[in-house]
Amino acid sequence: MINSEKKHHIGYITNGINLDHIPCGNAWYIIKILNLQGKQNQIGVGLNLPSKKIGLKDLIKIENRTLTQDEIDAISLFCVDASLSVIQDFAVIKKHTIELPPLIQNIIICPNGRCISHKHISKFITTTNRHNKINVTCHYCEQIFFLEEIKSYNI
Ligand SMILES: [Zn+2]
């Protein structure tokens, strides 16, 4: 049997990383946060690919690049549960699932228009509620939002 997800080869990677199962539409945020445009690394981007796991997905492959934990934390908002594979000589040597850090700084713009965070570096505490939905709580106004309600980002 052919695994349908294996058909989508956006170029092979010799050494580098493969970030797969990014929710559809979020690849651009990640490219922006990692500041990948205009760099020397070869990058393969797949958009709106079918995924059995999440319906439609994006994926990003970057040649000759690894990600620091700070970079992973910075992009995690846009790819929770995505899989990050580290590739060396065509082989996957490490694979892990992206998780949200407990605190996200500077990326989310608080939806509360009167929040004082707009004058500071925003800070949001991440939690998962009992229905397994991700909540983010503003450190300044203490309002709680669903992650999917957040539409404005400082990137
Ligand atoms: Zn706020």
What residue segments make up the domains of the chain, in order of their start?
4-97, 103-149
pLDDT at 57: 96
Whole-model pTM: value is 0.83
Band of pLDDT at residue 148, cut at 50, 70 and 90: confident
Give the architecture (CATH level 2) of 103-149: Roll (2.30)
Distance CA 107, CA 148 (A): 14
- Per the prediction, the chain carries an average pLDDT of 90
Dist. CA 128 → ligand 1 center (Å): 18
Closest among 124, 120, 155 to 139, alpha carbons compared = 124
pLDDT at 113: 95
Dist. CA 154 → ligand 1 center (Å): 14
Segment 37-58 mean pLDDT: 89
- 3 state SS of 128: strand
User: Which CATH number is 4-97's, of 3.30.70.140, 3.40.50.150, 2.40.430.10, 2.40.50.140?
Assistant: 3.30.70.140
* 122 in Cβ contact with 110 (< 8 Å): yes
